Structure 1
């Protein structure tokens, strides 16, 4: 994932970069910093899909964050913009450009974590997968899939009120899945943690009543995955 940080304070840039790398892991995220809105827009206008999220300081000399964000919205209506400000009274201006969230300076770690968790939810809710069903291509939200079951060279994809039989390997499906949302409970099953109803130590019961076996030795790992899901997406 690539993140843009646009702020004219070099020390603050370092602080937020360190906290972002601490949260995601330095290998999972690439952060590009800009000292002015003008510099950022020059890059953004050429590569409007390069960044997945923007941290934008409101108070900057020259072109301020609000005006820069109006330009951003002319190019990309949906990219999340998180405003950074030392003056909370200016935060209301962000609604003109559909700001995703606001963070007050000096930056508080718990506030940043909450914003990043909200962003993770947004990405997962909006993300889809293409499933080839015969001659049809289905677009399905990850949040709609309750669990996936392997059946030889096919997989059964279970939604709330329907099931699709897709020619695909379970391992290929696993590679595409959001790791925070899905868990491989058994060599033949991938489950959406959001649809878990209860767990008795050996089997996981889903909200639709289906019982999914849990491989021996995975009890602790499953509990950890469930707690992580609830922390981020619950």
Structure 2
């Protein structure tokens, strides 16, 4: 497991590292830990490779919330735990889907509880992550955040709740990758996440984002059956 600690305070950062090392010994775990003392250095290097990020909120330059917003542009699945001196900042963590927050000074027992919570978060999302490589870089997104995927010649366009991603790929390969998840084609070359379907009409599919997609005559029966089966399963 790869863990990043981002804190401009050397003392606070090293305390987190010592707790991680203690947790490793007590629980027979193995971590790869990297410490960043400046938010700029962290963002410049970030490529979506970490499982958990311990992120100080009050830092010079880009504060922890700004950093978290940039992270979420690239990575919707990484576990973020905020570290703060003021508990009032923690409320803002919901905006970037933080796992939790720890108030300084950090105690080991509280830290270990938060870390175990992060493990549960990672386990829940582990098999639902998709890596997308585009001209802008490599992004990791959660399959649950995908609204639909549309083929455009040699490319696939992933429409998510946050932004859209364009990458080379085939519809055949992405269908295989998402086979165990609730996705179904409404037209040839348009794969829809059934979690985000609000209504299946006569010749269209309405999503929760209020985007309306065409429903082809050839795909209508199979798509409708998939949706009914999915809703029934819920």
Taking structure 1 as the reference length, the TM-score comes to 0.52
Aligned position for 2:51: 52
Instruction: Give the gaps of 5 or more residues in structure 2.
Output: 129-175, 182-234
| 1:15 counterpart SS class | helix
Please state if 1:23 is matched with 2:27: no
> Would the alpha carbon gap of residues 96 and 30 (structure 1) be closer, same or farther in structure 2, given more than 3 Å must change?
same
Aligned position for 1:38: 40
> Would the alpha carbon gap of residues 40 and 3 (structure 1) be closer, same or farther in structure 2, given more than 3 Å must change?
same
1:123-134 superposed matches below 5 A: 123-128=122-127
| Contact 2:7 2:38 (C-alpha < 8 Å) held by counterparts | yes
Aligned position for 1:8: 8
Please state if 1:86 is matched with 2:85: yes
1:101-120 superposed matches below 5 A: 101-120=100-119
Aligned position for 2:72: 73
| 1:60 counterpart SS class | coil
| Contact 1:128 1:139 (C-alpha < 8 Å) held by counterparts | no
The C-alpha deviation readout for 1:175-216, integer Å capped at 9, x for no partner, is xxxxxxxxxxxxxxxxxxxxxxxxxxxxxxxxxxxxxxxxxx
| Contact 2:78 2:122 (C-alpha < 8 Å) held by counterparts | no
Cα deviation for residue 138 of structure 1 reads 10
Instruction: Give the gaps of 5 or more residues in structure 1.
Output: 130-135, 142-234
**Root mean square deviation of aligned Cα:** 2.4
Cα deviation for residue 80 of structure 1 reads 0.8
Aligned length: 132
Cα deviation for residue 126 of structure 1 reads 3.3
